[in-house]
Structure 1
Amino acid sequence: MMATDVAGVRIPLRSAGHDVRAVKVVLHREMLRFVNDRTRMLSMLVQPVLWLFVMGTGFGSLAQGAIPGIDYRTFMYPGMIAMTVIMTAMFSAGSIVWDREFGFLREMLVAPVSRGAIVVGKCLGGALVAVGQGVVILALAGAVGVPYDPLLMVTLLAEMFLAAFTITAFGVTLAARMKNMQTFFGLMQMAVMPMMFLSGAMFPLGNLPSWLHVLTTVNPLTYAVDPMRQAVFSRLDVPPEVDATLNPGVSWFGWQVPVPLELGLVALIGAVLLGVAVAQFRRSD
């Protein structure tokens, strides 16, 4: 008998080019998944719209005499942008658990690419999906008295992306070791909802009790919501006393934290969480 030739199998070496392509593939998959899931898109938009127009109108009727010259829904508008972006980003991160249950995650992890590239692609995809949802809320600006100023819209988009990337990295870190969706969403509700309520999205940060002021100050989401509100109020013509009440900013021991420092803190937290998420994936099987 003649010996048959056996074809060799060559596994391509990992390289920066492979990692970039992996980031693009994961990002593209996230976008396709989101576009094809119409129910998810609608559900993520209904909640903030209800909060903005129903709760905002109700709260505004109570505070109408205390804040003359401005609609309370205008105050809540930046918070609702943040809520939309944050919830969408967390749901995007949670799809990792779904991929693990159906075996797709294992296929990605054995590919000849860096696991860090997979995490970066996931975070970028989740951030872009969240910003896409946020654009719909941006389109409602005129309905709540926020001007369609081009510079304001660009500023809000950039701040939305930064917040969405950080929250997606946080969600990926949580989801990296979880085995089922119920556990992830339970933990997500326990972690994100208190942070959302303590971020100043629905009530002003000024004149709070000392214990509540401390909680808002140590809450990372506060530093994502406040720059959006600062950007919006910088384009509004409101009385100084109303601006001081609704837009006091974040203070540390009486010193008001500047917006660039707030954004820097969000970016730093996002970078740290991204590193933790990559380390989690490198240890996962």
Structure 2
Amino acid sequence: MTSQANAIRPQATPGIWSGTFALASRELVRFFRQRTRVIGAIGQPIIFWVLFGAGLRGSFQSPEWASNLEQPLTYQEYFFPGIAVLIVMFTAIFSTISIIEDRREGFLQGVLAAPVPRSVIVLGKVLGGTVLAVIQAGLFLMVGPLLSYVGLSPGLQIEVGLLQGIFAVIFLTLIAVELTSLGFLIAWPMNSTQGFHAIMSIFLMPMWLLSGAFFPGGGSGWLSWIIRLNPLTYGVAGLRRLLYSGDLPVTDSLPSLPVCVLVTAVFGLACFAISAALVSRPTSHNVT
């Protein structure tokens, strides 16, 4: 019996990765077959960027960390990293809400009964959502500066070089893992898409709004503390540091890049670990 068990164990790892890639590829195929998801995940943030940039351009005041720049920071430039993170968040929401649909259709029960660890579900969903998020946000980083040449985003002076782009994509991957794991953690105990949208409205969107993506979060008071405690603040700040060309004069109001990487990685790992623990439970109690 022992020899037979030992002979079976080496086959477990290939089963984990094959199951993970199968679930991830399923997410990719499902996404590209649904054109409305592609349009919604990319089109809506770009519309936000163009419209809010045009409407708030005159009333925008540069934050403290950008006060020493040779050329004043425009709102389009300030909002640019926040929109990239918004695309990642929308993709994470759309990719993890499929968990509820898979449970209703019976697909999730079939995966749970398969002879692979239950953590494969988390790995597959997070990998698929991360790839989709990075593809879409990466496209925006390339297309966004081109909009300034046609007059849709006047004042945008961001020019992303090759090395900057590589580091920005790597950091976007870290943010995508963080937000997709968080979305999985929220969606797993639910059996209602309406409940998921409610959580998104009262938790995920305010989380993005209070990350410094939409407006500067300096100053003092209770709002500034919420912004500092928000883990997504460090994702937006880290991406902001990587995208802005040249030297960026900063103060303590903008977190350093090592701190941004550390906070984003720790929070993403924590969400992933909790999600894996929930999935590995023998029984789960679903709530609306």
Give the structure-2-normalised TM-score.
0.84
Aligned to 2:266: 268
Aligned pair partner of 2:34 in 26, 32, 37:
37
Q: In the alignment, is the contact (CA less than 8 A) between 1:93 and 1:172 conserved in 2?
A: yes
Aligned to 1:163: 175
Q: Return the offset for 1:107.
A: 0.7
Q: Return the offset for 1:258.
A: 2.3
Change (3 A) 1:191 1:64: closer
Aligned to 1:4: none
Q: Deviations over 1:182-222 (max 9, x none)?
A: 1111112211011111000011233x232111010000110
Which whole-Å CA distance do the structure 2 matches of 1:64 and 1:262 have between them?
A: 24
Change (3 A) 1:17 1:75: same
Aligned pair partner of 2:18 in 8, 16, 21:
21
Aligned pair partner of 2:191 in 167, 172, 179:
179
Aligned pair partner of 2:228 in 200, 214, 217:
217
Q: In the alignment, is the contact (CA less than 8 A) between 2:91 and 2:133 conserved in 1?
A: yes
Aligned to 1:147: 159
Q: Where in structure 1 are there 5+ consecutive unaligned residues?
A: 1-11, 252-256
Q: Which moved more, 1:81-90 or 1:67-76?
A: 67-76
Determine if the alignment matches structure 1 residue 91 to structure 2 residue 94: yes
Q: In the alignment, is the contact (CA less than 8 A) between 2:160 and 2:243 conserved in 1?
A: no
Q: In the alignment, is the contact (CA less than 8 A) between 1:141 and 1:148 conserved in 2?
A: no
Which whole-Å CA distance do the structure 1 matches of 2:107 and 2:233 have between them?
A: 35
Which whole-Å CA distance do the structure 2 matches of 1:129 and 1:72 have between them?
A: 27
Aligned pair partner of 1:195 in 196, 204, 207:
207
Aligned pair partner of 2:108 in 105, 109, 115:
105
SS in structure 1 at match of 2:84: helix
Determine if the alignment matches structure 1 residue 231 to structure 2 residue 242: yes
Compare CA radii of gyration and give the structure with the larger one.
1
2:127 is aligned with what amino acid?
A: L
SS in structure 2 at match of 1:78: helix
Change (3 A) 1:112 1:182: same
Aligned to 1:254: none
RMSD value, Cα: 2.1
Q: In the alignment, is the contact (CA less than 8 A) between 1:52 and 1:80 conserved in 2?
A: yes
Aligned to 1:119: 122
Q: In the alignment, is the contact (CA less than 8 A) between 2:62 and 2:74 conserved in 1?
A: no
Which whole-Å CA distance do the structure 2 matches of 1:182 and 1:99 have between them?
A: 15
Give the structure-1-normalised TM-score.
0.85
Q: In the alignment, is the contact (CA less than 8 A) between 1:27 and 1:121 conserved in 2?
A: yes
Which whole-Å CA distance do the structure 2 matches of 1:105 and 1:249 have between them?
A: 46
Aligned to 2:3: none
Which whole-Å CA distance do the structure 1 matches of 2:62 and 2:177 have between them?
A: 39
Q: In the alignment, is the contact (CA less than 8 A) between 1:60 and 1:72 conserved in 2?
A: yes
Q: In the alignment, is the contact (CA less than 8 A) between 2:60 and 2:74 conserved in 1?
A: no
Which whole-Å CA distance do the structure 2 matches of 1:278 and 1:65 have between them?
A: 42
Determine if the alignment matches structure 1 residue 52 to structure 2 residue 49: yes
2:232 is aligned with what amino acid?
A: L
Change (3 A) 1:63 1:172: closer
| Divergent runs of 4+, >3 A | 64-70, 248-251
Q: Return the offset for 1:128.
A: 0.7
